């Protein structure tokens, strides 16, 4: 059991959260290895072993550390990176180059050079200017790279505007205008330096309905048919993206098969009708692997009860370690981990210590009457907590601990105040 209460204390993957806080301090990110492995196993069971010629590439923007990438590698997944920093992390972790794909809407020359030098498996071209830039880099090194084009299928998905990416008005992908897309495909097919494999799309994040995926696939299948008709070229690979929904509070998380089975069935039927071999299929789950595998621990500090208005319970972290509530109103569930069996008779707004009124983690949480020194646990913070953490107000980024069946290991040490100044320089003029 991932979350368990014993003797009034919350246990997470067999570890006492009170002991974790005592040993490693707070704020603290805690990740369950068992839960991560369970999600990877589900992907293998319902997708990778059922459908031949498929891959799952963990979208490591959700949570990217060397230890996490080692774990993903062990579980047989590929990875999707979106920056030079994520690629460098993968290289330092010894992640196999051929199992890395590089996404992103504005890849810098230095990032593409790093990708070509390491010999990664795929570059997903996100704009028309990326092909000539990549060709130039490949030509200088005498290397050829596999590429896909990311397209915007023009599909509206039901999610927050900040995490919807498949509509035409998006900074991501290439629009489907004939005079834009097909000349780009022709250029890739004619190139000496790239091997054009196919198309990539991503309709959005935190989705619970498979309809937008099926609608986007239908659009891309039209592209597959048209590329074959115009150029006599059979697309060899399709990347269907990720964005599968998870449980933050009371959402009913669908199994991976709910999304993947109808997508694969439609693709198989299309290929049979067209008399062609089914392309390789790649998916990019990120949040759905790590979100529920993580929780955050905080120590309660100042408590302000504004009579007739609101009670604020302040903790020793906040928007610096979880920006999502402030950024787009993400909602989380929490409890007092050291008083886990006590009745939740109080309503309080959990706020952070940053000098911002918007530094709110949970509005109107139902908890026992909090006291300074209590331990607060916030659930499902494994995705985009650590990876979006900042040093605002010169706050050190918390440590990260990996737990499994009662064992805990540090995988990212807590930043010190000295770390905050490691790159700062006082110029001679101010000496």
The conformation of residue 388, written as its DSSP 8-state character, comes to G
165 or 51, which is more confident?
Answer: 51
What does the DSSP assignment read for 398-415?
PEEEEEETTEEEEEEPPP
The predicted structure's pLDDT at residue 157: 53
Cis peptide leading into residue 197 (ω within 30°): no
pLDDT over 90, % of the chain? 95
pLDDT at 393 over 90: yes
- pLDDT digits over 241-257, tens only? 999 999 999 999 999 99
**CATH tag for 3-30+293-420 (out of 3.40.190.10, 1.20.140.10, 2.40.37.10, 1.10.357.10):** 2.40.37.10
The predicted structure's pLDDT at residue 165: 47
- pLDDT digits over 297-346, tens only? 999 999 999 999 999 999 999 999 999 999 999 999 999 999 999 999 99
* In the block, residue with structure tokens 């604020």: 312
Task: For domain 51-288, give the CATH number.
Answer: 3.20.20.10
The predicted structure's pLDDT at residue 170: 76
Element (H, E) at 145: strand 145-150
Angle, CA 399 vertex, CA 394 and CA 401 arms, to 5°: 165
pLDDT at 89 over 50: yes
- What mean pLDDT is predicted for residues 228-239? 98
Phi, psi of 214, rounded to the nearest 5 degrees: -65, -35
355 is catalytic: yes
The rounded radius of gyration (Å) of the Cα atoms in the chain is 23
- What mean pLDDT is predicted for residues 64-89? 98
With cut-offs at 50, 70 and 90, classify the pLDDT of residue 357: very high
13: number of Cβ within 10 Å: 23
- What mean pLDDT is predicted for residues 40-67? 98
- pLDDT digits over 147-175, tens only? 999 999 987 654 444 444 444 577 889 99
* In the block, residue with structure tokens 């330096």: 193
Which residues are registered as beta bridge partners of 79? 58, 100
- What mean pLDDT is predicted for residues 14-21? 98
pLDDT at 135 over 80: yes
The predicted structure's pLDDT at residue 255: 98
Helix ranges (DSSP H) in 93-210: 109-118, 130-141, 178-190
Q: 206 CB contacts (<8 Å, ≥6 apart)?
A: 159, 160, 163, 243, 245, 246, 287
Catalytic residue among 15, 351, 354, 355: 355
Angstrom distance (rounded) from CA 278 to CA 321: 43
The predicted structure's pLDDT at residue 164: 45
The predicted structure's pLDDT at residue 155: 79
The predicted structure's pLDDT at residue 180: 94
pTM for this entry: 0.95
The predicted structure's pLDDT at residue 166: 46
Q: What are the extents of the domains in the chain?
A: 3-30+293-420, 51-288
pLDDT over 70, % of the chain? 97
Give the residue among 369, 398, 390 at the shortest CA–CA distance from 295.
398
- pLDDT digits over 254-297, tens only? 999 999 999 999 999 999 999 999 999 999 999 999 999 999 99
> Reduced to 3 states, what is the DSSP secondary structure of residue 161?
helix
Angstrom distance (rounded) from CA 287 to CA 97: 23
């Amino acid at each position: 059991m991932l979350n368990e209460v014993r003797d009034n204390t919350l246990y997470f993957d067999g570890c006492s959260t009170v002991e974790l806080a005592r040993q490693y301090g707070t704020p603290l990110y805690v990740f369950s290895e068992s839960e991560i492995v369970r999600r990877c196993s589900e992907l293998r069971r319902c997708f990778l072993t059922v459908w031949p010629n498929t891959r799952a590439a963990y979208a490591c923007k959700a949570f990217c550390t060397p230890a996490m990438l080692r774990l993903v590698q062990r579980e047989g997944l590929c990875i999707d990176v979106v920056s030079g920093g994520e690629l460098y992390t993968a290289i330092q972790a010894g992640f196999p180059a051929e199992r890395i794909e590089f996404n992103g809407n504005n890849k810098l020359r230095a990032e593409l050079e790093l990708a070509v030098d390491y010999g990664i498996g795929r570059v997903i071209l996100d704009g028309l200017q990326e092909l000539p830039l990549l060709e130039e880099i490949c030509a200088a090194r005498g290397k050829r790279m596999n590429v896909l084009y990311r397209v915007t299928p023009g599909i509206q998905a039901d999610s927050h505007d900040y995490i919807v990416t498949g509509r035409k008005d998006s900074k991501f992908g290439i629009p489907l205008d004939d005079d834009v897309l097909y000349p780009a495909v022709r250029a890739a097919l004619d190139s000496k330096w790239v091997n054009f494999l196919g198309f990539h799309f991503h309709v959005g994040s935190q989705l619970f309905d498979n309809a937008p995926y099926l609608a986007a696939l239908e659009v891309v299948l039209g592209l597959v048919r048209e590329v074959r008709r115009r150029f006599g070229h059979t697309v060899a690979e399709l990347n269907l993206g990720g964005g599968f929904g998870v449980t933050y509070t009371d959402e009913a998380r669908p199994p991976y098969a709910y999304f993947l089975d109808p997508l694969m069935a439609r693709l198989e039927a299309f290929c049979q009708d067209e008399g062609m071999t089914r392309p390789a299929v790649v998916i990019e789950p990120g949040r759905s692997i790590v979100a529920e595998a993580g929780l955050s621990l905080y120590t309660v500090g100042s408590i302000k009860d504004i009579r007739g208005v609101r009670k604020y319970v302040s903790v020793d972290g906040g928007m610096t370690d979880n920006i999502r509530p402030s950024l787009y109103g993400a909602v989380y569930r929490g409890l007092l981990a050291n008083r886990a069996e006590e009745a939740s008779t109080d309503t309080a707004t959990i706020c952070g210590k940053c000098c911002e009124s918007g530094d709110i983690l949970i509005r109107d949480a139902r908890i026992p009457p909090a006291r300074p020194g209590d331990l607060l646990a916030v659930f499902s913070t494994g995705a985009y907590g650590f990876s979006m953490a900042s040093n605002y107000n010169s706050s050190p980024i918390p440590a990260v601990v990996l737990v499994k069946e009662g064992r805990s290991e540090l995988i990212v040490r807590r930043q010190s105040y000295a770390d905050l100044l490691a790159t700062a320089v006082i110029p001679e003029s101010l000496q």
